[in-house]
């Protein structure tokens, strides 16, 4: 039996899975159990920050959120592209430059009013 058997990913996964299942069973036996006919009271009602929930739903407006989310995503992908493109060949530099110019045009379209 090799010394590094526990470092093998499938063996480690199975060991952690077995330990998790044992802990789940142990804590299931220690957990609080409700009696069969016990009243739950307000436990099953929706929690709305201490207010009475009357069925109205708050519907937030995401119209200002999405342009910033797309702006954030585009800029981070551009930064990743700049950081990882190899500079040895002219071909990859040209593709990266075109990609960056396309993303700038995309940002202009995204943020225009």
**What average pLDDT is seen over the chain?**
79
Mean pLDDT of 5-21: 90
Q: In angstroms, rounded to a whole number, what is the distance separating the alpha carbons of residues 74 and 38? A: 55
Q: In angstroms, rounded to a whole number, what is the distance separating the alpha carbons of residues 83 and 21? A: 43
Model confidence at 4: pLDDT above 60: yes
Chain CA centroid to CA 14, Å: 25
Question: pLDDT tens across 55-97, in order?
Answer: 666 677 888 788 788 888 888 888 888 788 776 777 777 888 8
């Amino acid at each position: 039996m090799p010394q590094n058997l526990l470092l093998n990913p499938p063996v480690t996964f199975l060991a952690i899975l077995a330990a998790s299942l044992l802990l789940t069973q142990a804590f299931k036996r220690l957990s609080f159990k409700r009696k069969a006919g016990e009243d739950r009271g307000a436990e099953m009602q929706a929690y709305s920050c201490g207010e009475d929930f009357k069925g109205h739903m708050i519907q937030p407006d995401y119209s200002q959120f999405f342009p910033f989310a797309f702006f954030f995503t585009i800029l981070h992908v551009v930064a990743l592209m700049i950081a990882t493109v190899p500079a040895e060949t002219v071909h990859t530099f040209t593709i990266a430059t075109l990609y960056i110019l396309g993303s700038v045009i995309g940002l202009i379209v995204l943020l225009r009013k």
